[in-house]
């Protein structure tokens, strides 16, 4: 007499199929996220991009040009760590679609005093350097990472960023 063949149960097949589907979707999600942020990661650097997303303390700086020292200086500091919309701004700052990549002119030097605003992202350890993003808010608005070469034109994030700065400063005033 022939032995009966053991067949997988239907439930086991469903579980295995769902696990394979989950693995495929997870791989797609990682790939998709990488595609959305790869240019920003190259521009900021991995450490700076991580600080932009996770820093506990964030400050908004108004910059002024110091002619005697021939560099921008911080004219006003505002702790915006708990400001409304900061979570969305952080996300927007690391999404490639929010910038005009290859817009031309990113290699040319901006005039002295062009940088108007800055965001500083601080590490919890006091001795760790901050990541500072400087912004030229004149059209076309641009961003640079202080201490790194190059700048990128702000794309669709420019108007919202300007609105956020104005609203945040207004709410912070007594």
Instruction: Indicate whether 3 belongs to any domain.
Output: no
Instruction: Indicate whether 4 belongs to any domain.
Output: no
Phi, psi of 79 (to 5 degrees): -75, 115
CA 42 to chain CA centroid, Å, is: 12
Instruction: Indicate whether 1 belongs to any domain.
Output: no
Q: Quick one: pLDDT at residue 105?
A: 46
134 vs 107, which has greater pLDDT? 134
Asked if residue 111 has pLDDT above 80, the reply is no
Overall number of domains in the chain: 1
Interatomic CA distance for residues 41 and 37, integer angstroms? 6
Interatomic CA distance for residues 39 and 98, integer angstroms? 11
Q: What is the percent of the chain with per-residue pLDDT over 70, rounded to a whole number?
A: 88
Tokens 């900061």 sit on residue: 86
Mean pLDDT comparison of 31-35, 68-72, 93-97, 127-131, highest-scoring range: 93-97
Asked if residue 7 has pLDDT above 80, the reply is no
Tokens of 117: 């605003």
Interatomic CA distance for residues 6 and 141, integer angstroms? 68
Asked if residue 117 has pLDDT above 70, the reply is yes
For residue 150, give the nearest of 111, 101, 108 by alpha carbon.
108
For residue 96, give the nearest of 136, 131, 149, 143 by alpha carbon.
143
Q: Quick one: pLDDT at residue 66?
A: 87
Instruction: Indicate whether 5 belongs to any domain.
Output: no
Residue 46's domain spans which residues? 10-172
Instruction: Indicate whether 2 belongs to any domain.
Output: no
Interatomic CA distance for residues 159 and 96, integer angstroms? 16
């Amino acid at each position: 007499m022939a032995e009966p063949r053991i067949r997988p149960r239907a439930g086991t097949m469903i579980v295995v199929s769902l696990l394979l589907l989950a693995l495929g979707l997870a791989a797609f999600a990682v790939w998709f996220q990488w595609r959305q942020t790869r240019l920003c990661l190259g521009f900021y650097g991995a450490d700076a991009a991580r600080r932009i997303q996770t820093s506990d303390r964030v400050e908004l700086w108004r910059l002024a040009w110091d002619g005697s020292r021939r560099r921008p200086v911080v004219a006003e500091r505002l702790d915006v760590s708990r400001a409304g919309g900061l979570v969305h701004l952080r996300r927007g700052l690391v999404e490639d679609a929010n910038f005009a990549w290859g817009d031309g002119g990113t290699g040319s030097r901006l005039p002295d005093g062009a940088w108007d605003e800055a965001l500083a992202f601080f590490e919890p350890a006091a001795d760790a350097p901050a990541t500072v993003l400087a912004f030229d808010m004149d059209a076309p608005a641009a961003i640079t990472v202080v201490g790194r070469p190059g700048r990128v034109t702000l794309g669709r994030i420019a108007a919202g960023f300007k609105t956020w700065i104005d609203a945040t400063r207004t709410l912070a005033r007594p």
